[in-house]
Structure 1
Amino acid sequence: MVNENGKSLISKIMPRNRFKDIMRHLRFDYKGTRMERVGTDKFAAISNVWGSFVANCIKSFNPGRYITIDEQLFPTKTRCCFLQYIATKPDKFGIKFWVACDLKSKYVCNIIPYLGKDPSRPMRERLSENVVMKLMEPLLDKGRSVTTDNFFTSVSLARQLLSRKTTLLGTENKIRRELPESVKKPLDRNEFSTQVFSTSGATLTVYAPKRKKTVCILSSMHSVVETGDNKKKKPNTITDYKSMKCGVDVMDQMVREYSVRSGTRRWPVGVFYNMIDIAALNAYVLYQACTGVKERRVDFLVELASELAQGHMGAETAKKDNRLRQQPLTPGKGKRAMCQVNCRCKSNHATVRCVDCYKYTCGKCRMEIAWQCQVCADSVM
């Protein structure tokens, strides 16, 4: 991060050793009571800070009609009991989060960490349905539409959401028991053919892009399924799903493009890095929504970092100036001080202070002013 003159601002914020010391002792809870809280909350090491962050994300923005729900894998190999391995991800290991994201702005509306088996979840309720209902709880009853992948989508979930004035659109896994047997079997279908099944409150579209390949789309948003006029004859449920499924994936790409993530062996610090990245993205969305100014995200992040550091830098500068002002005019009788102007002159001794910045100044850093008599000074004026 550099300023207008090309000089680095990072070194002016704080010394490197102080930053390392802060990161070494960074904690987000009281360690004395952590063992008691871990018994009921695996996320206890950062749960208080995380809860405040999520609450601010929910209340700070009113998302649009279309919401995308998917998983995010924050890459890390720190030791924790809920570390996940997902072979299909670029980074195989990490902490998994369930994310609800606004489709248009990519604002993170709600986010939940996956901590393994949840004892509070009802026995007969699927994990996917429980996650979707938790993520959508602040956004229900407002006529929104949710897009999910085949892990979440089911008829029972569509009915639950529909009872809360929310529609569902997503691909459905063919192993679901609720699907008709004709859909589960790999039949030899006509290429680009479409078959539609309907039930109370939901429509199942089975599209065959190839002869022995089918795609199942469950929708409570479409009452009528229409096919296109082109060669592939794609139904509108397929085209709508393709345009709405990418919210969380694009958000994850944007977050990882400009990240504060660094190497760490402690998972709370890794979660904190992810929290800062998401907060920066949400701040960018809010800035554009409130001001209407279109600005590159990298420029916004640099400006944001500068403004956040400005208060700290101003306080440190004031403390330093106060210490310099309290220095005596001369080091003392028979004593000499080190030069405080240039770091390369610290071995040089000084006996006088600058009248402007109050720093002890050696002979190399001092500017001599020629003396004038009163007559010459009056003539110049």
Structure 2
Amino acid sequence: MGKKHFNLILVSTVATPVEINMATAERMVKAGVCHETPLTEEGILQALDNSDLEGASSDDNEDEFQPMSSDSDSESSDSSPHSERDAIPCENQNKPIKKSRELKWKAQDFNPTPNCAEDLDWEVNGRDHWTPLDYFNEYFDDDFWNLVADQSNRRALQDNVSKPLRATAGEYKMLVGAHIITGVLKLPRLRLYYRPNLRIPAVVQIPRDRFYRLRNYLHFVDNLAVTDEVRKENRLWKVQPVIDVVKNVCNKLPRCMNLSIDEQMIPFSGTTKLKQYVKGKPNPVGLKNYVLASPQGLVLDFFIYQGANTWPDGKPNQEYGIGGSVVLKLTENLNRGHVLYFDRYFTSVPILEHLLNRGIYATGTIQASRLQKDLKLKLSSDQALQKRGRGSYDEFVREDGSISILKWMDNRSVLMASSATGAKPLQYIRRWDKREKKYILVPCPKTVPSYNHSMGGVDLCDRMIAFYRIIMRTRKWPVRVFWHFIDLAIVNSWILYKMDQEAMGTRRCDIMDLLHFKIYIGESLSTGSTGQVEHRKRDNPRHFPLPESSSDEDERPVEKKRKLPRCIPTKDSRLTGNKHLPICAVENSQQFMRCRNYNCTGKTRFKCVACDIFLCINKERQCFLEFHT
């Protein structure tokens, strides 16, 4: 052992309460105050005082000593009865680790200056002559229907080689169109649509048994081609093509400044590991779908929750929780300048801070348990706010001026966090007063009405889907997910169509509502692309026996029933296909029927085979050609 180490050991063996650190011992060695002979306690104290004075006058000597790193030195120190680590403790060994100071909250007005992106004027972008079917085809094009037909045929062969399905893309379009009509005209069972007295032409275009077989083998992927690893990583592998085509179109839609995030339920009560229960929802049981939407209800992005497989690492971000991780995933493709709105399930101060660093502002209700303890004590209690009167509020702003916490008293207290808006300027809202039995004006912070105005986009989309939802019963969750996204695509298409018509200045009475928009798409899919099914077998009346008539009814005179005019097919139906051929339907001139072409009042004997309506064909009027071009 060298002289330097020997002197250090001598110092450490002296019985004294004084603790000597490494730098002090090094200065003692260089100053020559350490000797190989034992020292007294008074000598050690005097040497320490002298070394401190010398260290105060020289800054370079404090950084000269470096810990030993060579193998020989470490072996010699370990072999000694008192190692260097035990002799001279580390300087920072007993000091506590400094934590970053939490920012304090102050009671003051929050006056943010957000750099938000302005909403530009809506652009039609060549959609001025689009039909409802054109909007719908943006989500499900011909490539998708060919994929469905191919995978369904494969599934049928895997089940029974001797009975191939031989389905076409046109047949599956007709199947979807029939289901869309059943969502509008609801009957308890599918078989009732084929009953003679309840027949709906747009639904019964496909024979009943063929209808069931097409729906039974409805598939989107090849089950045998999917590996076990993919099945474990992605529980939605059966419907992944459907999710991809819808999501790709949603991501391309124009985005306004204010957006909202909320959860959406896909109703399903069957057996699946993806099933969730959300209390308070109209359909509490089903698959949970997290959605990013505009205030008009236009869905811009989404993903279905599938437990731990939802996150890349198998678990959500520990700092933000599940709600914050959902916000991070839905805002991956979001640019700067947007303002997000979400409820207390997603809101926390760390997620607001993270979004603010990305240039995205946010507002949402927040749980009191997610606030700092000192802030909870500063906020007034509900009883104190009630004594101050209805409409009173407390507002606290973080000392860096980026986030505010607001507690407002209405019928109940409302706790909100925001990085976009503050309480002022105050607005006044109309509320009913039970004591005075009249409406009164209650002061309301600006954060509350801005939240109410922009938060309901996902709920609005849910309500429009629920109006005419496809509700055919099934035990297969992939089929239920497929029908949900069909409904979602129709609602998205209608919202886009409505905004285009308003931008073009179309009168409100001339804009198609959601009901007629959905019927148009259903009729076009069921009859427009491929026409009616050839050689359709007549329904067997034995399955639906008619009730026996009484003797009194037999004695009544039979009234001649008036023929109801055939409905005019949609524009997409009469402009597509090659089955629009004229035939001579009547020979007697007294049985001629009125032409159904627009602004034509003549009568004719010719009608279209596919459209089943009468159209003029003569030298003066070529209504048949005009109607189909």
**TM-score bracket, shorter-length normalisation:** 0.7 to 0.9
Q: Deviations over 1:135-168 (max 9, x none)?
A: 1222322x22111000111121112222222211
> Structure 2 CA distance, aligned partners of 1:125 and 1:243?
26
> Structure 2 CA distance, aligned partners of 1:342 and 1:195?
73
Q: Which of residues 279, 283, 287 is equivalent to 1:87?
A: 279
1:138 to 1:8, Cα distance in 2 relative to 1, 3 A: same
Q: Deviations over 1:257-304 (max 9, x none)?
A: 111232111111111111011000011122223344522111111112
C-alpha contact (below 8 Å) 1:12/1:313 kept by paired residues: no
- 1:208 and 2:401 aligned: no
Counting aligned pairs with the same residue, the percent is 23
- Greater relative contact order (CA < 8 Å, ≥ 6 in sequence): 2
The Cα of 1:226 is off from its aligned counterpart by: 2.8
Letter in 2 for 1:174: A
Q: Deviations over 1:71-111 (max 9, x none)?
A: 111221121112111232233311111111110x2111111
Aligned to 1:173: 367
SS in 1 for 2:225: helix
Q: Which of residues 496, 501, 517 is equivalent to 1:286?
A: 496
> Structure 1 CA distance, aligned partners of 2:242 and 2:199?
34
C-alpha contact (below 8 Å) 2:297/2:458 kept by paired residues: yes
The Cα of 1:185 is off from its aligned counterpart by: 5.6
Number of matched pairs: 322
Aligned to 2:419: 220
C-alpha contact (below 8 Å) 1:84/1:93 kept by paired residues: yes
> Structure 2 CA distance, aligned partners of 1:36 and 1:255?
35
SS in 2 for 1:169: strand
C-alpha contact (below 8 Å) 2:275/2:288 kept by paired residues: yes
Runs of 4+ in structure 1 over 4 Å off = 184-187, 340-344, 365-368
Letter in 2 for 1:130: S
SS in 2 for 1:232: strand
| Larger-Rg structure | 2
The Cα of 1:315 is off from its aligned counterpart by: 7.4
How do 1:322-341 residues align onto structure 2 when only pairs under 5 Å count? Answer: none
C-alpha contact (below 8 Å) 1:13/1:312 kept by paired residues: no
Where in structure 2 are there 5+ consecutive unaligned residues?
Answer: 1-180, 183-197, 430-440, 541-580, 589-629
C-alpha contact (below 8 Å) 2:294/2:300 kept by paired residues: yes
Bigger shift: 304-313 or 129-138?
Answer: 304-313
> Structure 1 CA distance, aligned partners of 2:523 and 2:485?
19
Aligned to 1:238: 448
How do 1:5-24 residues align onto structure 2 when only pairs under 5 Å count? Answer: 8-11=200-203, 13-24=205-216
Bigger shift: 21-30 or 110-119?
Answer: 110-119
> Structure 2 CA distance, aligned partners of 1:139 and 1:175?
29
SS in 1 for 2:453: helix
Q: Deviations over 1:236-264 (max 9, x none)?
A: 11122222222111210111111123211
> Structure 2 CA distance, aligned partners of 1:87 and 1:224?
31
How do 1:47-196 residues align onto structure 2 when only pairs under 5 Å count? Answer: 47-59=240-252, 61-103=253-295, 105-117=296-308, 118-120=310-312, 121-141=316-336, 143-178=337-372, 180-182=375-377, 183=379, 188-189=384-385, 190-191=388-389, 192-196=391-395
> Structure 2 CA distance, aligned partners of 1:255 and 1:82?
21
Letter in 2 for 1:266: K
Aligned to 1:25: 217
Q: Which of residues 441, 463, 466 is equivalent to 1:253?
A: 463
C-alpha contact (below 8 Å) 2:319/2:350 kept by paired residues: no
1:151 to 1:342, Cα distance in 2 relative to 1, 3 A: closer
1:12 to 1:84, Cα distance in 2 relative to 1, 3 A: closer
C-alpha contact (below 8 Å) 2:422/2:445 kept by paired residues: no
Aligned to 2:236: 43
> Structure 2 CA distance, aligned partners of 1:108 and 1:219?
23
Q: Deviations over 1:316-363 (max 9, x none)?
A: 45xx6xxxxxxxxxxxxxxxxxxx99999xxxxxxxxxxx999xxxxx
1:367 to 1:33, Cα distance in 2 relative to 1, 3 A: same
- C-alpha root-mean-square deviation of aligned residues, in Å? 3.1
SS in 2 for 1:109: strand
SS in 2 for 1:216: strand
Letter in 2 for 1:131: V
SS in 2 for 1:146: strand
Letter in 2 for 1:45: K
Aligned to 2:512: 295
1:291 to 1:316, Cα distance in 2 relative to 1, 3 A: farther
> Structure 2 CA distance, aligned partners of 1:87 and 1:237?
27
In terms of fraction of residues, the more strand-rich structure is 1
Letter in 1 for 2:524: E
1:7 to 1:92, Cα distance in 2 relative to 1, 3 A: closer
> Structure 1 CA distance, aligned partners of 2:221 and 2:444?
53
SS in 2 for 1:301: helix
The Cα of 1:16 is off from its aligned counterpart by: 1.8
C-alpha contact (below 8 Å) 2:230/2:237 kept by paired residues: yes
> Structure 2 CA distance, aligned partners of 1:58 and 1:29?
23
> Structure 1 CA distance, aligned partners of 2:234 and 2:381?
43
SS in 1 for 2:368: coil
C-alpha contact (below 8 Å) 2:260/2:292 kept by paired residues: yes
SS in 2 for 1:37: helix
1:267 to 1:342, Cα distance in 2 relative to 1, 3 A: closer
Q: Which of residues 298, 308, 312 is equivalent to 2:525?
A: 308
